[in-house]
Amino acid sequence: MTLKDIKKNNYSLIYHLIYQHKKLSKQEIANLLHLSLPTVNQHLARLEKEKLIEKNGYFESSVGRRAAAYAICPQARIGIGVEIQKKKIRILAVDLWGTVFQEKELSLDYANDGHYFKQVSLEVQSFIDDLDFKKEQVLGIGFAVQALTSTDGRRIIYGKILDCTGMDIHVFSQYLEYPCKFLHDAKCAATTELWMRKDIGDAVYLSIGTHLGGAIIINDQIYMGKDGYSGTVEHMTVNPNGSLCYCGKKGCMETVCSIHVLLKESESLDFFFQQVRSGVSSYVERWKAFLENLAFSINNIRLVINRDFILGGHISPYLKEEDLVLLHEWVNEKTTFPSDEPFIYISRSNENGVPIGAAIPFIQSFLDSV
Ligand SMILES: [Zn+2]
């Protein structure tokens, strides 16, 4: 390592140490990293000048002067997440902690035409303008779509729900002077989960929203596979004679395990689960049938990947422990390899999991670059 490398390395170590510990004094930094105080001072001054960290209060001390506490500036850089749905869009701003500090939802019917793309872009631009940040502080905009995207996020490789196969990110980026990319909504939900729990390792993530979407997590990373179709269990055939899926095939997991199938046209999730939890029998029956289908698919997927399952998506805030008990019981009943240990969990991310996950890749790559 050259002297320059060492300096860059110490600079980065100090920033990430403060990030992890939330607040630290100079002396603590010096102790934890085995660095001299003058070295620590030099890097702190630079980080402060670049507005990446700030003095944030003092530590209590019984002797002598109280030490200043250093913390990162969470809004030194921000990421924007946009969730594109059929009838609405959700825009939010995420800071370096991955915390949402501003959000907006708009009713806007999706259309695969220039007028729609321009309108969405203008809405996103005005949202960013209202935040009042310098242009260089906005790291980028992630567009979460119900579609499979290329690994670099530039193109939609499969988008039947929004009829957008082949679309290029240019439709939005031509109006927005920030890095823009498309991201698969199910993978966004999984990204948020990975951000919130850094200890997942390997898992299968099922995002149960209006439509179902899967993601395979290996080594705390989303595994895209050779052509980007890894984890798309939504199109796994569970009944060759079943109902027609939007993909054109019959009886995909999507046709039995998505909210769009669970709810009737006029029902909301709130209403449906109120009925279920208060024991209205027709609703309880429908819910149990849904869980049984889910158990069937979980068993199949688990035979290929023997890992934990995380249930996320718009349904996750409504799931309860009693649902997991039933699911475990039914998977164990169906499987060749029952397990006494739990292996199905509810996602920790909330209803903003998808748009947050669209912004996080920008935050993550910024943090990696410091
Ligand atoms: Zn399908």
The per-residue pLDDT for 197 is 85
Separation of alpha carbons 81 and 221, rounded Å: 19
Tell me which residues have their CB within 5 A of the ion that is ligand 1. 235, 245, 247, 249, 252
The per-residue pLDDT for 58 is 87
Q: How far is the CA of 235 from the centre of ligand 1 (A)?
A: 4
Please state at what angle helix 26-33 crosses helix 3-21, rounded to 10 degrees: 120
Identify the DSSP state of 250: B
End-to-end CA distance of the chain: 18
Q: How far is the CA of 192 from the centre of ligand 1 (A)?
A: 25
Q: How far is the CA of 60 from the centre of ligand 1 (A)?
A: 60
Please tell me the chain's helix, strand, coil percentages from 3-state DSSP, rounded to the nearest 5. Answer: 40, 20, 35
Q: How far is the CA of 124 from the centre of ligand 1 (A)?
A: 31
What contacts 42, CB < 8 A, 6 or more positions away? none
Tell me the mean pLDDT per 10 residues along the chain, length 370: 81 95 93 94 95 90 80 97 94 97 96 95 97 95 93 90 91 96 92 88 93 92 84 94 94 96 93 97 97 96 94 93 96 94 89 93 95
The pTM is what? 0.88
Exposed e or buried b for every residue in 8-46, given b needs 16+ CB within 10 A?
eebbeebbeebbeeeebbbebbbeeeebeeebbebbbee
The CATH number of the domain covering residues in 3-72: 1.10.10.10
Q: How far is the CA of 313 from the centre of ligand 1 (A)?
A: 18
Sequence spans of domains, the chain:
3-72, 78-189+353-369, 198-346
Q: How far is the CA of 232 from the centre of ligand 1 (A)?
A: 9
Topology (CATH level 3) of domain 198-346: Nucleotidyltransferase; domain 5 (3.30.420)
Q: How far is the CA of 358 from the centre of ligand 1 (A)?
A: 24
- What does the DSSP assignment read for 60-81? --SSSSPPEEEEE-TTSSEEEE
What is the CB-side half-sphere exposure of residue 308 using CA atoms within 13 A? 19
CB-CB contact of 366 with 77 (8 Å): yes
Separation of alpha carbons 343 and 329, rounded Å: 11
Identify the DSSP state of 318: G
Q: How far is the CA of 162 from the centre of ligand 1 (A)?
A: 14
What contacts 332, CB < 8 A, 6 or more positions away? 338, 339
Long-range CB contacts for residues 21-26, cutoff 8 Å, separation at least 24: 22/71, 23/56, 23/57, 23/59, 23/69, 23/70, 23/71, 24/69, 24/70, 25/59, 25/67, 25/68, 25/69, 25/70, 26/67, 26/68, 26/70
CB-CB contact of 182 with 148 (8 Å): no
Q: Do domains 78-189+353-369 and 198-346 have the same CATH topology?
A: yes
Q: Which CATH class is domain 78-189+353-369?
A: alpha beta
Separation of alpha carbons 73 and 50, rounded Å: 10
